[in-house]
Amino acid sequence: MEKYEQERFTKLQKLRDKGVDPFGGRYDNVQSIQAILQDFAPDRDDIKAKAAGRIMTMRPHGKTVFLDIRDRTGKIQVYIKRDKVGEDAFEISHLLDLGDILGVEGTLFKTRTGEITIFADNITLLSKSLLNPPEKWHGLKDIELRHRQRYVDLFTNQDVMQTFLNRIQIINYIRAFLNERDFVEVETPMMQPIPGGAVARPFITHHNTLDIDLYLRIAPELYLKRLLVGGMERVYEINRNFRNEGISTRHNPEFTMMELYQAYSDYNGMMELTEGLITSLAMKIQGKYELPFGEITVNMTPPWRRATFCELLEEHSGISYDDEEGLIRKSKELGLETNGISRDNIANTLFEELVEKTLVNPTFVLDYPTSICPLTKTCAHDPRFAQRFELYIASMEVANSYSELNDSIEQDRRFHEQIGTETDITGKIDEDFLTALKYGMPPAGGLGIGIDRLIMLLTNNVSIREVILFPLLKPKL
């Protein structure tokens, strides 16, 4: 046991010898530190406060102790004086350590240096910390340790705490925004017999009682569309999705998605809704449209740019979508695989390679090749392309939307056409979904927004791990 840890255990025993429970109990009527600071009035000396928080600094001075405690809303100074709290409580204050959780009751005043402070009438130890908090946490180079010990990261780094409080606020705002527009929130299965709604490699699990393999959902799409068939014209779900694929600063195998469907709309309606939601969020969280993101600035000012997949592909590659040989040649120049890959998937890979990185300010990319959009209606002007958009911001795909295909015969054909191709993951077709379509699904617009990436943008965090409380990490050996 390290020296400092041993000292804490010694203090723990001394507290117990004094009859003090070092791990406390119920402590009612606690005010947030933010509310206490707001209640302070310089012309009054009778404002009482009751706070609880973790000790962040301690400064003993003879018969007095100054310390700072912090809760999720902020920090406040506490002044403990022996003559005020009594000998027993003052002795207990000398058995406190950084990281301990302390309850304080007292009167508010302002020190000569102008700091609002609680002059303690009494103190209550609520939990003894048996480990030293890290020193100079802001200077740690081991980012992985911060992610592994998020509980320490939160209480020692107020910026991190604020990011996750903002995350909660953003999700609550999205719910309010949709509820005001007559959407209803629903829940769909996370374990599914057939993965569908997206092209991604699933995680597989096993149900012992039924003795069947199941897939953690890669998307809720096919279940939400069943609800459209059932008469729920506007539905949404803020859900966890799971994709057994790469991990990077922009990808986590478990991520949060907001997916919605609106009957009698299309992808144009979804563009209007998406732009309205995200621009209003930018103003709510940051108070402006120009947002810093790492080393760049993203201008969210509406209206946002709209350009087709083919226009952007030709603009950045110099090759027309119709020039298949040119697409193959360009792909080989870039070292991309082309053997056995369809023209549309070659074009899509080129787009990812050459175009995505240029899309810094919000851009709706419209009308993708139909073959890579099996759940989407085709464009009236050219059935080779589908009524789909992807929204890119800061070179990241943030949202994906379709005018939903509701022709059961065409959907059946596309599902069977997909079997055995490079986009086919499981070789299975959701026959029950096709049955649902046969009963008639209203024309609809569908939209998926990656919540984690959206929060990255709104909180200026360039790594997805900074906006997920407990990102997936390889176990330590």
* Phi-psi region at 136: left, alpha or beta (left = phi > 0; alpha = psi -120 to 50): left
Instruction: Read off the tokens for 398.
Output: 């943030």
Looking at residue 119, its pLDDT comes to 98
Cα–Cα distance, 257 to 169 (Å, whole number)? 16
Cα–Cα distance, 47 to 52 (Å, whole number)? 17
User: What sections of 267-308 are H helices per DSSP?
Assistant: 267-286
Q: Is 222 exposed, middle or buried (0-12, 13-18, 19+ CB in 10 A)?
A: buried
Residue 137 — very low, low, confident or very high, per pLDDT cuts 50/70/90?
Answer: very low
Residue 198 — very low, low, confident or very high, per pLDDT cuts 50/70/90?
Answer: confident
Q: What percent of the chain has pLDDT over 90?
A: 89
Q: Is 399 exposed, middle or buried (0-12, 13-18, 19+ CB in 10 A)?
A: buried
Q: Contact 368/355 with Cβ under 8 angstroms?
A: no
Looking at residue 255, its pLDDT comes to 96
Among residues 350, 353, 333, 354, the alpha carbon closest in space to that of 342 is found at 350
Taking every pair of Cα atoms in the chain, the longest distance, rounded to a whole number of angstroms, is 88
Beta-carbon contacts of residue 208 (< 8 Å; ≥ 6 apart): none
> DSSP label at 376?
B
Taking the alpha carbons at both ends of the chain, their separation in whole angstroms is 21
Q: Contact 197/207 with Cβ under 8 angstroms?
A: no
Over the stretch 384-430, which tens digit does the pLDDT of each residue have? 999 999 999 999 999 999 999 999 999 999 998 887 765 666 668 99
Q: Is 309 exposed, middle or buried (0-12, 13-18, 19+ CB in 10 A)?
A: buried
Looking at residue 186, its pLDDT comes to 98
Does pLDDT of 244 surpass 70? yes
Residue 466 — very low, low, confident or very high, per pLDDT cuts 50/70/90?
Answer: very high
The beta-strand segments (E) located in 253-320 are 254-263, 290-293, 296-299, 305-308
Q: Contact 367/387 with Cβ under 8 angstroms?
A: yes
Q: How many CB atoms lie within 10 A of CB 395?
A: 16
Residue 1 — very low, low, confident or very high, per pLDDT cuts 50/70/90?
Answer: low
Cα–Cα distance, 457 to 278 (Å, whole number)? 10
Cα–Cα distance, 63 to 83 (Å, whole number)? 8
The beta-strand segments (E) located in 14-87 are 48-61, 64-71, 74-81
Among residues 100, 30, 28, 43, the alpha carbon closest in space to that of 68 is found at 100
Looking at residue 145, its pLDDT comes to 86
Tell me what the mean pLDDT of segment 312-331 comes to: 96
Cα–Cα distance, 402 to 260 (Å, whole number)? 11
* Phi-psi region at 466: left, alpha or beta (left = phi > 0; alpha = psi -120 to 50): alpha
Tell me what the mean pLDDT of segment 241-248 comes to: 92
Cα–Cα distance, 121 to 106 (Å, whole number)? 5
Cα–Cα distance, 323 to 117 (Å, whole number)? 72
Instruction: Read off the tokens for 197.
Output: 């709604």
Tell me what the mean pLDDT of segment 50-76 comes to: 96
Cα–Cα distance, 371 to 402 (Å, whole number)? 14
Q: Contact 327/346 with Cβ under 8 angstroms?
A: yes
Looking at residue 460, its pLDDT comes to 98
Cα–Cα distance, 77 to 91 (Å, whole number)? 19
Looking at residue 139, its pLDDT comes to 41
Q: Contact 389/401 with Cβ under 8 angstroms?
A: yes
Does pLDDT of 140 surpass 60? no
Over the stretch 435-444, which tens digit does the pLDDT of each residue have? 999 999 999 9
> DSSP label at 248?
B
Cα–Cα distance, 234 to 74 (Å, whole number)? 39
DSSP-derived pairing of the beta strands 378-379 and 363-366: unpaired
Looking at residue 197, its pLDDT comes to 87
Please state, in angstroms and as integers, the Cα–Cα distance from residue 187 to each residue in 6, 238, 259, 269, following that order: 49, 8, 11, 24
Cα–Cα distance, 267 to 387 (Å, whole number)? 7
Looking at residue 299, its pLDDT comes to 98
Among residues 352, 369, 445, the alpha carbon closest in space to that of 414 is found at 369
Please provide the average confidence, as pLDDT, over all residues in the chain. 94
Instruction: Read off the tokens for 255.
Output: 């991520």
Tell me what the mean pLDDT of segment 462-468 comes to: 97
Tell me what the mean pLDDT of segment 123-134 comes to: 94
Q: Is 137 exposed, middle or buried (0-12, 13-18, 19+ CB in 10 A)?
A: middle
Q: What pTM does this model have?
A: 0.93
Beta bridge partners of 50: 105
